[in-house]
Structure 1
Amino acid sequence: MFNFQAFTTALQLDNPTYERVKRSDLHDLVALMSSGNFTAPQVAAEMKRISGDKWKKYACTRAYLIAEVPSLAALVKASLVNFRTQTLTALPGGHIKHDAIWDSDSGNLQNLDHIFVRERVSWGAASLQAINYLDPAYRNPGQHFGVGNAVTSSGSAGNMSDTHDVKGAWSPTIFDFAGPEKVSYLCSQVYQYSDDNRATWHDIPNSTYEILRTVSVERGKIKLEILKQSVSPSNRHENLSNSLLL
């Protein structure tokens, strides 16, 4: 159970001259703890305002708080926030490259070293028009995970790149496509994070997309198209398309 005298003892162990010369980065936290009227979320919020480098100096103080304030251990972990697109780029060959970035609510990306980021892509049953042109793994409802060529990205990196192939799950039978109508298949994509060593995964807010791939015949050639667009609810309106004539 938290005891302010024990707390100040830990503080003095870390810094015997605490606040003798100037105001400390821990001043607001100490003021909150001295009030005796605090909640674990309030303590966590104050602790997250203090840099990781500063906590290296005040390791005993941090350890005491985490041990003696119930629920604080989970709350004080830095969280991934402000996931957003940096660039959506149409690449040669009909591909789309999606570069995304994010922040830490602590202000220090290194505090996200316990976070992993991945994508989850899912799809429904193929239409009768598309089924014979798709890889067998994509003809029935399913899902896969990963980010680009990696299984996960590190939260402390603060960024990831995800490239979408215009061919996607079309099988070699697509080279026999003769039209006349367009044929498409749709995938849903959401980026996810884990903060428990990949035991459980959670959708990242405002990170859901649809990826539509279409095949048609244009001027006697097979045309592959890809469209990636953000999905509501979202505070972004993003879309980009690309194509390739075979």
Structure 2
Amino acid sequence: MNIELQSFAYISSHDLQEPLRKIQTFASRLADLDEQNISAIAKTYLARIEVSAKKMQNLIQDLLTYSRTNSAERVFTTVNIDEIAEEVVSDFSDRIEEKNAIVEYANLGEATIIQFQFRQLLHNLVENALKFSKPGIPPIVKISGEKIDGKLIPDAEFKDKTYYHLQVSDNGIGFELVYKEKIFEVFQRLNTESEYKGTGIGLAIVKKIVENHKGIITVSSEKGEGAVFNVYIPELT
């Protein structure tokens, strides 16, 4: 399975992306021609080509990220989670300003994790919270972290271990709890793409990263009342 995933990653990063880049390049060049050489309706079609190519590029990148969570080397290090949160929030500075969002975090502590994967996990959860906000209502995203005894976690595999508990909550549109498993599946969407753009892979990546850490992820939500994601990572070293 890992060999197949590595092959897919190679194809995604080379064979699929190269023709896509050419489509984007030549569509852009055509769109830049002066009005005498290209009509308004032709420019509209070219704009649609560019939008579709961008969607395809995002899909390839997300699939590539998903495959790499399986095949990448898993090196665990002890990391300050506040530093990761700071980087992630910085990634979304423009969107946070655009939506007048508030992202709160402090004293998240340390955890022994696969750093680049955990960063991707937090990035996807924050992105999800900002994306599925209520129209006209500024998003409020709260990130907290603490150490917790494995005995206190019902489905914990390692009852004798200490777990790092990361929680990400929001005041967004939420969803009916009947979909709490479906949202972690690849390509699953609860809303139309016209309402909320995306590839439907982000939370599948999050779940795969949690599994790589031998952890647990749960979610609680109610339609119209936001969502709360809880991630539990065991301290295995």
User: TM exceeds 0.5?
Assistant: no
- Does 1 or 2 have the higher relative contact order (CA < 8 Å, sep 6+)? 2
Question: Which is richer in strand?
Answer: 1
Question: Which is richer in helix?
Answer: 2
> Which has the larger Rg?
1
